[in-house]
Amino acid sequence: MSRRRFGDVHQLIHDLLDRHEANPQASRILAYIDEDSFPSVEERDRFTRLLLAIEAAGGIVIQRKRIDGVAVFGHIRLADPAILYAQVARTPANERAGTILSEARARTDLPGTVHGILDDIAQAWSRNVSRFGLAPEDGAALSASLDLARALAMRADDGGAAPVDYRTFSRIAGTDSKALERLVSIVPRLFDRLYPDRAPGELLAPEDWLATFGVLRTPQPLAVGGPIAIAGQPLPPLRFYGVPPEQADQLGLVAPVGYLLTIENYTSFVRHVREINDDRSGLVIYTGGFPSRGHLRQIVRLAEEVRAPSFHWGDLDGGGVRIFRHLERAMANRGLMLRPHLMDAATLLNQGVASDRQLRSADAPPLESAVRGLWDALVESGLVLEQESLSPQRPRSI
Q: What is the mean pLDDT of residues 114-126?
A: 95
7: amino acid identity, one letter? G
Full set of structural domains in the chain with CATH: 5-87 (1.10.10), 93-216 (no CATH), 222-389 (3.40.1360.10)
Q: Which of 175, 250, 160 is nearest to 214 (CA)?
A: 160
| Residues 84/16, Cβ–Cβ less than 8 Å | yes
In which element (H, E) is residue 353 found?
A: strand 353-354
| Residues 327/299, Cβ–Cβ less than 8 Å | yes
Would the pTM count as exceeding 0.85? no
What span, in angstroms and rounded, lies between the C-alpha atoms of 366 and 156? 27
Mean pLDDT for the chain overall: 91
Please list, residue by residue across 232-268, b when 16 or more beta carbons sit within 10 angstroms of its beta carbon and e when fewer do.
eeeeeeeebbebebbebeebbbeeebebbbbbbbeeb
Left (φ > 0), alpha (ψ -120 to 50) or beta: where does 285 sit?
beta
| Residues 378/360, Cβ–Cβ less than 8 Å | no
What span, in angstroms and rounded, lies between the C-alpha atoms of 124 and 130? 6
Q: What is the pLDDT of residue 218?
A: 76
| Residues 280/225, Cβ–Cβ less than 8 Å | yes
Backbone angles phi, psi at 246, to 5 degrees: -70, -10
Q: What is the mean pLDDT of residues 327-348?
A: 95
| Residues 105/118, Cβ–Cβ less than 8 Å | yes
Q: What is the mean pLDDT of residues 213-234?
A: 89
Residues forming a β-bridge with 241: 224
pLDDT tens-digit map of 80-118: 999 999 999 999 999 999 999 999 999 999 999 999 999
| Residues 355/382, Cβ–Cβ less than 8 Å | yes
User: How many beta carbons lie within 10 A of that of residue 190, not counting itself?
Assistant: 24
How does residue 397 score in pLDDT terms, banded at 50, 70 and 90?
low
Q: Helix, strand, or coil here: 5?
A: strand
283: amino acid identity, one letter? L
Q: What is the pLDDT of residue 69?
A: 66
Q: Which of 356, 362, 263 is nearest to 313 (CA)?
A: 263
Q: What is the mean pLDDT of residues 226-238?
A: 92
Examine the pLDDT at 398 and tell me if it is beyond 60: no
How does residue 162 score in pLDDT terms, banded at 50, 70 and 90?
confident
Backbone angles phi, psi at 288, to 5 degrees: 70, 40
What span, in angstroms and rounded, lies between the C-alpha atoms of 213 and 156? 7
